[in-house]
Amino acid sequence: GAGVSQSPRYKVAKRGQDVALRCDPISGHVSLFWYQQALGQGPEFLTYFQNEAQLDKSGLPSDRFFAERPEGSVSTLKIQRTQQEDSAVYLCASSFRRGLMNTEAFFGQGTRLTVV
């Protein structure tokens, strides 16, 4: 596709359920980022991949959060035993080069997760 694609667009999970959020970056993009955007807030960094390597996972809120990008393309953000505070929009972005120096990050539409 032409842009970053995320699925599902909406997910309702019961508290304690595991969820998996998918991101298809723009083809050929080296860098992939996950951000969490709570209601009324700006996006907050979760994790960064350069190809298949997860170079920074410092923003993941707890060990219930896990992200992978095994073949350097599609990425999955998994949240185990979801809690109500996990409710947010999860944004994926990709960029052509390593990092964001002299390049632009393109964001997907996000997955809105609601934990009930």
Partner 1 sequence: TQLLEQSPQFLSIQEGENLTVYCNSSSVFSSLQWYRQEPGEGPVLLVTVVTGGEVKKLKRLTFQFGDARKDSSLHITAAQPGDTGLYLCAGPSSGGSNYKLTFGKGTLLTVNP
Name the site residues for partner 1 (rule: CB under 8 A): 4, 31, 33, 40-45, 48, 50, 55-56, 59, 91, 93, 98-101, 104-105, 107-110
Task: Give me the least distance between CB of 71 and partner 1, in Å please.
Answer: 20
Q: How many Å apart are CA 4 and CA 46, to the nearest integer?
A: 17
Evaluate whether 100 touches 107 at the Cβ level (below 8 Å). Answer: no
Please say which residue, 51 or 80, places its beta carbon nearer to partner 1: 51
Beta bridge partners of 24: 5
- Overall size of the chain counted in residues: 116
Task: Please state whether beta strands 111-115 and 10-13 pair in parallel, antiparallel, or not at all (unpaired).
Answer: parallel
Task: Give me the least distance between CB of 91 and partner 1, in Å please.
Answer: 5
Please say which residue, 44 or 85, places its beta carbon nearer to partner 1: 44
Please say which residue, 72 or 99, places its beta carbon nearer to partner 1: 99
Please say which residue, 46 or 79, places its beta carbon nearer to partner 1: 46
From 25, 9, 14, 114, select the one nearest 67 (Cα to Cα).
Answer: 25
